[in-house]
Amino acid sequence: MSHAQRLRRTIEDEIVDGVLRPGDRLDEVQLAARFGVSRTPIREALLQLAVTGLIEVKPRRGAVVSTPEPARLIEMFETMAELEAACGRLAARRLTDAHQRDLIAALESCRAAAAGSDTEAYYAENAVFHAVIYRASQNGFLYEQALGLSRRLAPFRRIQLRVRNRLRQSLAEHEGAVEAILAGDEALAGERLRAHVLVQGDRFSELIRSLPGGSAAA
């Protein structure tokens, strides 16, 4: 992992955990001094975060934290669930031998990370797993839209893995989705992937509680 990637993850964590709050300015010089690096990796990290939408660049203010409000986050997760469902349905219909191999390999990597109870490793493998399903849809536009929103929501989906037993539940949901895709069951694949992404019950409460200014009652 490069310096810029490590810095991006650290800043990402601080935004999601509320250390850096909406509207906070991210000054390159101050961040470089804080982390003991040059401004180049800081600038690269901020560019990566801007792509995800976690920060935005404003005239005369530079990079500013732009964590979405809980209501907006709900809308984003609802949209992500529908995009996932569409990818799952098309993957079940159009699965090639190559995509099948990639999907099984991605699932095995998720299993290995879960077996070691390594949340960070699972977080990384989870992103690969979902990207494989997007590609397997064989719809370039849908792939781009799903991947873009998935990256935007990645820090918040990452928080969910900290909830007790969520990692195991997530793996079981992955296995169910793969089972449906391999069986060519479009409806079931879509249903399982939609349910996998939707933030409900305790997971949603935990997610909202972790947001700056959030509460379990939101």
Question: All domains of the chain, ordered by start, with CATH?
Answer: 3-65 (1.10.10.10), 70-210 (1.20.120.530)
Confidence at 217, pLDDT banded by 50, 70, 90: very low
Average pLDDT over residues 169-198: 96
Show Cβ contacts of residue 190 under 8 Å, excluding neighbours closer than 6 positions. Answer: 85, 86, 88, 89, 92
Instruction: Give the model's confidence band at 114: pLDDT under 50 very low, under 70 low, under 90 confident, else very high.
Output: very high
Q: Note the pLDDT of residue 202.
A: 54
* Cβ contacts of 165 within 8 Å, gap of 6 or more: none
Task: Summarize pLDDT for 50-86 with one digit per residue, the tens.
Answer: 987 889 888 777 899 987 778 888 899 999 999 999 9
pTM (2 decimals)? Answer: 0.77
Beta pairing, strands 55-58 & 25-26: unpaired
pLDDT mean over 205-210: 64
Q: Name every residue whose Cβ is closer than 8 Å to that of residue 56 and which is 6 or more positions away in sequence.
A: 50, 63, 64, 66
Give the residue with greater pLDDT, 166 vs 78: 78
**pLDDT, position 216:** 41
Please give the backbone phi and psi of residue 58, each rounded to the nearest 5 degrees, phi first. Answer: -110, 145
